[in-house]
Structure 1
């Protein structure tokens, strides 16, 4: 397993398709995962610390787990099969460790709220990651994502 850092969420034009971008913490590979608009908004809100009047679904998940004394430990992007990414949320609680299958977008939204690391299986990175050879270009892309996060609104993800 390779630890990843969440670079951000953006809308890929011209299709208006949201993507979440992850990067190896000790390497140069990036892992882009196309996600839904609702999950993109949820992740962006969590990254920006946006408080909503009522809990969003991923906030509710964290609240329910907390009420059950279950702690999210990490999430792992486990597989890429037929163009679809798969993930798991690993938790511990009164009965020990529990692993729940999840879409990566939901797992990442939960991880951001729980403040836990995101990992990917080496095979997933080998198959789906992109490499930006030029370090300056890489930094520029990361800065673009950070600028996007500073200006994103829920309307940016509207269909």
Structure 2
């Protein structure tokens, strides 16, 4: 089951490569951190703040391609946790059909937040975090 979550916290520390984002269950108490890279966290932060750059960055380019093709990012789903690595899927709708695209969570979130796509976590991921 997909559980709706929100990006509740972004921790940026420019002195190290590993950055932290925290996803929290909407209307619940569960949540967890994900460690991501500096370029991805800066992209997420910039897109959340609505800061436009003179030229498109990678996540902007991908968003532009999806929109120009007439498709829409329906949602981002963090769907698995294996060997301390999170996995995600972008759900893109094109011509009435849903396409699932494998993605790193950091890239999926950077793309999704800029497009106001909802974010979900599979219940099994929360369960694995409790182990």
Give the structure-2-normalised TM-score: 0.91
By percentage of residues, which structure has more helix? 1
- Specify which structure has the bigger relative contact order, considering alpha-carbon pairs within 8 angstroms and separated by 6 or more residues: 1
Paired position in structure 1 for 2:36: 35
Paired position in structure 1 for 2:119: 118
**Residues in 2 aligned to 1:13 and 1:109: alpha-carbon distance in whole angstroms:** 18
By percentage of residues, which structure has more strand? 2
What secondary structure, in the 3-state scheme, does the structure 2 residue paired with 1:49 have? coil
Q: Using a 3 Å threshold, how does the CA distance of structure 1 residues 14 and 68 change in structure 2: closer, same or farther?
A: closer
Would you say how many aligned residue pairs link Structure 1 and Structure 2?
Answer: 129
Determine which structure has more spread, i.e. the larger CA radius of gyration.
Answer: 1
**Residues in 2 aligned to 1:13 and 1:41: alpha-carbon distance in whole angstroms:** 10
Q: Does structure 2 conserve the Cα–Cα contact (< 8 Å) formed by 1:61 and 1:110? A: yes
**Residues in 2 aligned to 1:50 and 1:96: alpha-carbon distance in whole angstroms:** 32
Paired position in structure 2 for 1:80: 81
The reply on whether 1:8 has 2:9 as its aligned counterpart is: yes
Paired position in structure 2 for 1:144: none
- Greater CA drift, 115-124 or 10-19: 10-19
**Residues in 2 aligned to 1:13 and 1:54: alpha-carbon distance in whole angstroms:** 23
Q: CA deviation at 1:77?
A: 0.2
Q: CA deviation at 1:17?
A: 2.0
Question: What is the RMSD of the two structures over their aligned residues, measured on CA atoms?
Answer: 1.8
**Residues in 1 aligned to 2:38 and 2:106: alpha-carbon distance in whole angstroms:** 10
Q: Does structure 2 conserve the Cα–Cα contact (< 8 Å) formed by 1:18 and 1:36? A: yes
Segments of 5+ residues of structure 2 without an aligned counterpart are none
Q: Using a 3 Å threshold, how does the CA distance of structure 1 residues 8 and 104 change in structure 2: closer, same or farther?
A: same
What secondary structure, in the 3-state scheme, does the structure 2 residue paired with 1:42 have? helix
